[in-house]
Chain A
Amino acid sequence: MIRLLTLLLCLLAGPALAQAPGDAAYARLASDSYAEIEAGIVGLGASGDPRAGAVIGALADGRLLSRPADRALFIRDGSGLVEARTGAPASAEGLKPVRANNKVRRAIEAAMGGLNLTSPDPGKRREAADAMFKARDAGALPALDAALAKEADASVRRALTEARAAVILARPGAAEPERLAAIQTIAGRGDGDALGLLRALSADPSEAVRAAADRGVRTVETRLALIGAAQNVWYGISLGSVLLLAAIGLAITFGVMGIINMAHGEMVMLGAYTTFLVQGAIRAHAPALSEWSLAASIPAAFLVAGAVGVLIERSVIRHLYGRPLETLLATFGISLVLQQGVRSIFGPTNREVSAPAFMTGAFDLFGLSITWGRLWIVVFSFGVFLGLLFVLRRTSFGLKTRAVTQNRRMAAAMGIRTPLVDALTFGLGSGIAGIAGVALSQIDNVSPNLGQGYIIDSFLVVVFGGVGNLWGTLVAALTLGVANKLFEPYLGAVLAKIALLVFIILFIQKRPRGLFALKGRAVES
C-alpha cells in the first residue's frame, strides 16, 4: 500500500519536476513538509545530478542541514560544512537538520537503489539489482531497462535480468510471451526466492503461464534438494574432519601401540589451552603478529602435548605393556588428574580463543554456503593425516615404530632401542592430539572438559575403522560424519547420534575388527 502511494507520488511528481529537475528538487528538500521532502528525494534521484548520491546519503545519515532563511542546503562533513549542490566548502549560521520519517526513509532507500544501479562499482550495482529483485517495484522497470542496456559485467547483467523478470511477473499487465520468458529466467535463478515467485503464479489466469511456472517450480525444487543434500554432505565432511582430527592421535596410541589411552581427550585439551596461552602471549608481546598466533600454536601444542605424553609413557604406561585393560584404568586416572590440574590453574570457565581473519566469514559455492573456518579445519585435518602417514611410512622413525609394534623382541634384536621408540611413538600420538586441540579450540569451548566430549567418538572412529589402520580411521571418520549429518534432518541431532552408536555396535558384531581389519597371525591375540 505504502509502496503504491510512493509510486503514485513518484509518477505525479515526475513530470512536474522535469522542467527544472535539480533546482526544484533541492528547494523541496529544504521544506518542512515530509511529503515535500519525499518528493524532493524522488526528483533528485531521477535528475541524474552527480551530487544526488552524496546529498541523499547525507540525508539518510542526518547530516543534511537546511537554512530556513533562503532554503539553502549544506552537508556536515566531519567538522566542516560543504554546500550541498556544489560540494564547495562553506560556512553558515542558523542551520537545522532536514528531518526524516519512515516514508522519507523508504524514499531514500528507493532513490539510493536507483542511484546505485548506475554506480561505477559493480558490487554496488549488483546489490541494487538484488534489492530490486526483492522489491519487485513496477516503477523500476525503465531504470532496469536503462541499466541493462549499458551493463557490461556478466554477473550484474544476470542480476539485472532476474530483477527485471521478477518485476515483470509482479506487474499485472505484462504480455504473455514476456511473462513466459521471465519465468524461464526466474527458474534459472533456482533459489528459495525464485521458488516463492513461481509458486505465487499457480493461480495465474493464463494456462501457459501456469504450466511454465509449474515446470519452473519442479526444476527449482530439484535443484534446491540437490543443493540441500550437497550442503549436508559438506557439513558431514566438516564433522568428519573434526572426528578425524580428534581420533587421529588415538589411531597412533590405541591403534598402533594398543594402549587404551583414555587420557587422549586431555591431550586435545592441553593443545587447546596451549593455543590460548600462545595467543595471549603474542597479543601481549607482539600484537602485530596476532594473525599468526594460531600457526605459532601448532608446534607449541605439539611439543606441550607430546612432552606430557612422553612423560606419561615413561612414568606409567611402560609398566603396563601387554595389559591393555589396565592401561585403560591408569590412563583414565591420568585424565582425571590432568582435567583437575587444568581446572585448578585456569579455572572451570571457558577460555576465549579468537579466530584469525582468514578463518572468519563465509563464501558461496554453487549455492552452498561454506564458512572459511570449517574449510580450513577440513584442509588442516587432511594435512595432519597425510603428514602422519608420511612419518609412519616414509621415515626411519616410522619404520622403527612399525617394527617394534609388530615384533618387539625381534626389533630389539635388530638393535632398535625399543623403550625410546615406545616413548617417542606415544609422544607422537599425544602431540598430534595436541595439534587437534589447536583446531578444535576454534569450534569448541576451551574448558577443562573439552577432551571428554571427544574421547568416546574418537574410540568409536578408531574401532570402526579397524585398529592399526590409518586409512581405516580416515574412512571411518568421514563415513560417520557424513552419515550423522545425512540422518540429522530426519531424526534430529540426538537420535541421529544414537542411531549411529547402535549402528556401530551392530557393525562390530558383523566385523569384530572394524572396517579394515588386519589380516594374518598378528591379529590373533
Chain B
Amino acid sequence: MGATLPRPALVDLKGRIFLGALAAICLAVPLLNLVVPEGSGLHLPTYLVSLFGKYLAFALLALSLDLVWGYCGILSLGHGAFFGLGGYAMGMYLMRQIGPRGVYGNPVLPDFMVFLNYTELPWYWLGFDRFPFAALMVLAVPGLLAFVFGWLAFRSRVTGVYLSIITQAMTFALMLAFFRNDMGLGGNNGLTDFKDILGFPVQAQGVRVALFLATAAALAIGYLIARFMTVSAYGKVLIAVRDAEPRTRFLGYRPEAYKTLAFVVSAMMAGVAGALYVPQVGIINPSEFAPTNSIEAVIWVAVGGRGTLVGAALGAILVNYAKTLLTGALPDAWLFALGALFVLVTLFLPKGIVGTAIERFGSRRAAARLPPEPEIPGKLAEEGRG
C-alpha cells in the first residue's frame, strides 16, 4: 500500500528548521557561557543554562506526549508519571553518589533513610549506585508501566475520555504512593542535595553545560525517533488507528499492538526527559506526579500544535519561558495568563502555532491533517429508561 503514497522525508522542512535551531543553540550556549568572560554583556549566566536545559527537558516530554496524542489519539493525562519515574530513577542514582558526604555521614544510606531509622538499603535501591543500571531503569521503569497499563487498556478498548481519566488516576495514585515515607523514596521531600554525576560535581559550570547539551541531544534523538515512527508504514497505521480505530481493526490490524508500542516508546522518552530534568533542577519530589503537571504538558502540545512534533517542543519552550517571565514579574498574574492561554488556544488556535503556520504558509502535503475529533452523539440522560 506504500506504492501509492510517497513516503515523506525523515527530516522535512520544519524538522530541518528545528534541528538547525537546536544545533545553533548548542553552539551558542556553551560559547556564551564558557568562552565569553563573565563581565561581558553577552555572557550567559550558568543558572540560565540550567533553566534552558529544563525547558529542553520539558520539550522532550511534550514531544513524547505529542507522539501518542497527535498520532495515536491517546490523550494521556498521566505523562507526568513517566517523567517522574525517570526522574526518580536518576535521583536514586544521584543519591547513591552522595556517599558519606550526607549530613549523617552514612556511606550507604541516604540521609532521609538514616532519619527514618532504616538499617539497610531497600532491595529496589540496589544497583542504583551504578550509572548504566540507573540509565537502564530510566527507560525500563516507565516503559514497563506503560506496557502493562497500555496493553491492559488498549486491549480492552478503553478509549477517549475514559482513557484520559484512568491515566489521570494512575498518576494520582503514584503521587499518593510517593508521598508516603514508607515508600523509601524520601516521601514528601523527595530526593535532593545531589553532589556528583558520573564523578563530576553536579553544580559545576562545565557539568551544567554538559547536561544542557545532553538534553538537547536527547531532544534531537527523540525527535528523530518519533519522526521515524510516524513517517514509516507503522506510523500510517498509527494515524489510521487514531482516525478510525474500528475500521483499522476490520482491515486486519491489531490497534492495541500499534498503540501499545507508541505508548511505551513515548513513556521511555518521558522518562529520559525526567532523568535529564532532575540533575538540572537539583530535586525530584512527588509533586511531579500531580495531575495538573500532566495537564500542563498537554497544554504545551496544544499551544505548539498537536501532531507536528516540532510544535510540541516549541510549545513547551514558549509556555515555560512565558511562565518564567510572568512568575518573576507578576506572580499573581501567571495563573490568569496560563488559564487564558488554555482557553484562547483551544478556541482560536485549535491547530496550535506550528499547525496554523503550516496551514497558512506550508505545502498542503506537509500539513498534519487533523480531522475533527469524531462527535460523540448522545451521551444523554437515559435515566428515564435506566
Q: Contact residues of A with B, CB < 8 Å?
A: 255-258, 260, 262, 316, 319-330, 332-341, 343-344, 389, 392-393, 398, 401-402, 405-408, 452, 456, 459-460, 463, 467-472, 494-495, 497-498, 501-502, 504-506, 508-510, 512-513, 516, 518, 522, 525
Contacts and interface: CB of A to CB of B under 8 A. Distances in A.
Nearest to A455: B291
Interface string B188-207: 00000000000000000000
A333 B383 contact: no
Contacts of A506: 152
A452 B341 CA distance: 20
A406 B383 contact: no
B169 A325 contact: no
Interface string B268-280: 0000000000000
A469 B382 contact: yes
A402 B382 contact: yes
B383 A392 contact: yes
Interface stretch (B21-29, B91-99, B135-143, B174-182): B174-182
13 contacts: A326-B350, A333-B339, A334-B339, A392-B383, A407-B377, A407-B378, A467-B379, A468-B382, A469-B382, A471-B383, A508-B156, A508-B158, A525-B377
A470 B386 CA distance: 9
Contacts of A324: 160-161, 373, 376
Given A328-B164, A333-B341, A468-B382, A501 B169 contact: yes
B120 interface: no
Contacts of A405: 378-381
Contacts of A332: 295, 299, 339, 342
A319 B372 CA distance: 13
Closest 4 CB pairs of A and B: A333-B342, A336-B339, A337-B339, A340-B335
B260 to A, nearest CB: 13
A495 B292 CA distance: 21
Most buried by A among B372, B373, B374, B378: B378
Contact of B381 (A401, A494, A508): A401
Interface of B: 75, 149, 152-153, 155-162, 164-166, 168-170, 172-173, 176-177, 179-180, 291-292, 295, 298-299, 302, 332, 335-336, 338-343, 345-347, 350, 372-384, 386
Given A324-B376, A456-B172, A469-B383, A508 B162 contact: yes
Most buried by B among A256, A329, A334: A329
Nearest to B69: A325
Nearest to B73: A325
Contact of A329 (B345, B375, B386): B345
Contacts of A262: 295
A133 B239 CA distance: 77
Given A320-B346, A324-B373, A512 B157 contact: yes
A69 B381 CA distance: 89
Nearest to A326: B346
B384 A402 contact: yes
Contacts of B343: 316, 330, 333-334, 337
Given A332-B342, A518-B382, A497 B335 contact: no
A289 B302 CA distance: 51
Given A337-B336, A389-B383, A467-B379, A330 B346 contact: yes
The majority secondary structure among interface residues of chain B is: helix
A255 B383 CA distance: 11
Most buried by A among B157, B165, B298: B165
Contacts of A509: 152-153, 155-156, 158
A309 B267 CA distance: 36
Contacts of A504: 166, 169
B342 A336 contact: yes
Given A330-B346, A494-B179, A470 B160 contact: no
Contact of B176 (A460, A471, A497): A497
Nearest to A394: B384
B166 A256 contact: no
Given A340-B336, A516-B386, 7 more contacts: A260-B161, A330-B342, A332-B342, A406-B377, A463-B161, A494-B176, A495-B180
A468 B339 CA distance: 28
Contacts of A513: 162
Contact of A392 (B342, B346, B372, B381): B381
A456 B180 CA distance: 19
A329 B302 contact: yes
B347 A319 contact: yes
A344 B339 CA distance: 15
Contacts of A469: 382-383, 386
Contacts of A256: 379-381
A497 B177 CA distance: 10
A325 B377 contact: no
B172 A333 contact: no
A80 B138 CA distance: 83
A420 to B, nearest CB: 17
Contacts of A340: 332, 335-336, 339
A421 to B, nearest CB: 12
B383 A393 contact: yes
A406 B385 CA distance: 13
B376 to A, nearest CB: 4
A426 to B, nearest CB: 13
B165 A470 contact: no
Nearest to A402: B381
A406 B381 CA distance: 8
A327 B343 CA distance: 9
A501 B378 contact: no
B384 A456 contact: no
B76 to A, nearest CB: 11
Contacts of B291: 456
Contacts of B338: 333, 336
Contacts of B292: 452
A470 to B, nearest CB: 5
Given A255-B379, A325-B164, A333-B341, A505 B372 contact: no
Contact of B378 (A471, A495, A522): A522
Contacts of A393: 383-384
Contacts of A525: 160, 374-377
A335 B339 contact: yes
Contacts of A463: 161-162, 165-166
B332 A329 contact: no
B299 A329 contact: yes
Contacts of A516: 386
A470 B75 contact: no
